[in-house]
Amino acid sequence: MTHQGQEGLLLGRQTPPVDQYAPQLLFPIPRGEARRQLGFSGVLPFTGADLWHAYELSWLDANGKPVSRVGRFAIPASSPNMVESKSFKLYLNSINNTRFASEAKARDTILDDVGRVVGATVTMQLYTVDDPALAGEKLSGTCIDNLDIVVPVEEPRAQLLEIDPGSGRVEESLYSHLLRSLCPVTGQPDWATLWLHYRGAALDHRALLRYIVSYRSHREFHEQCVERMFRDLLQSAQPDVLHIQAFYTRRGGLDINPFRSTDGQAMPLPRINRQ
C-alpha cells in the first residue's frame, strides 16, 4: 500500500461515512524524520509500544448480527511508521457492516491491515465491553499536580528540567494529569496524564511539572511528544532506568498511550479511569 506524500492525510478534512470494508483508508506517518530532529540515529535509546484502545470496534458475524468488542492494540515503537488516528478510526468504522466467519477471522484481518501500514507485527487483544479487565488502573507513585509553579511561556526544552541537589540518587514514580498538547494538523487540544518511573539523580518535582505544562501549546503527535520527553529526561537526569507513558484521553472512540523505556522487558500500563 502506498501513499503520495501527505495527500492521504485525513486529519482536518471533512470525510463522508464509509460503510464498506476499506483498508486503503489507513494512513502511515513515518517516524524517521521526527526522530532525526530529536537527535535519534542508529540504535534507538528506548524500546516500547504505542498502546491503543478502540472502544467502538464492531463487525457482523456470519448471520449478519453485530458483534461489539473493545480492542487493545500494541504497535511496536520500533515500527517504521505510526498510524494516523483519524484514518484508524475511519478504517475501523468501515468494517462495521462487514461479515466475518469468526472473531478470529476479524482479528486476523484487522491485524494484517494495520501491520502492513505500520511495517511491523501488531498485537491485539479483544474484550467484551463489560470485561472487568478493562477497568482503569490506579497509577503508582506521587502526583505532582498540587505543587506551586510559575507556568513557563516557552516551548518544551530539556533545560527546563532540573536535578534536586539535596536528594541524591532515588528511585521513584511520578505522574501528572496536566499534560496537554496540540494536534500538529488541526491545532485541537489533546489531553493526557503523564506517568514516569526512573532510577537516578533526583528530579526537581516543580521543574518537572513546569516542563510538563510547557507542552500546553506544543504541536506534535502524541507519540512524538513522549519521545521528546524521553530524550529530554535522559539528557537532563541520565537515569539508569527510565519508563515514561502518556495516557491520552479518547477521541473518535480511540485512546493512544505511547510507552517508552530503557528496559526492553518493560510493558506499558493498560489504561486509567480518565480514559
CA distance 23 to 34: 26
Active site residue 143: no
Catalytic residue among 113, 148, 164, 190: 190
Q: What grid cell was written down for 67?
A: 458483534
Catalytic residue among 183, 204, 232, 255: 183
CA distance 40 to 23: 31
Task: Count other Cβ atoms within 10 Å, centred on residue 81.
Answer: 18
Q: What grid cell was written down for 250?
A: 479518547
Hey, what long-range contacts does 236-241 have (CB within 8 A, 24 or more apart)?
236/158, 236/161, 236/162, 236/163, 236/203, 237/161, 237/163, 237/198, 237/200, 237/201, 237/203, 238/200, 238/201, 239/198, 239/199, 239/200, 239/201, 240/199, 240/200, 241/171, 241/197, 241/198, 241/199, 241/200
- Contact (Cβ atoms closer than 8 angstroms) between residue 31 and residue 223: yes
Please list the active-site residues. Answer: 183, 190
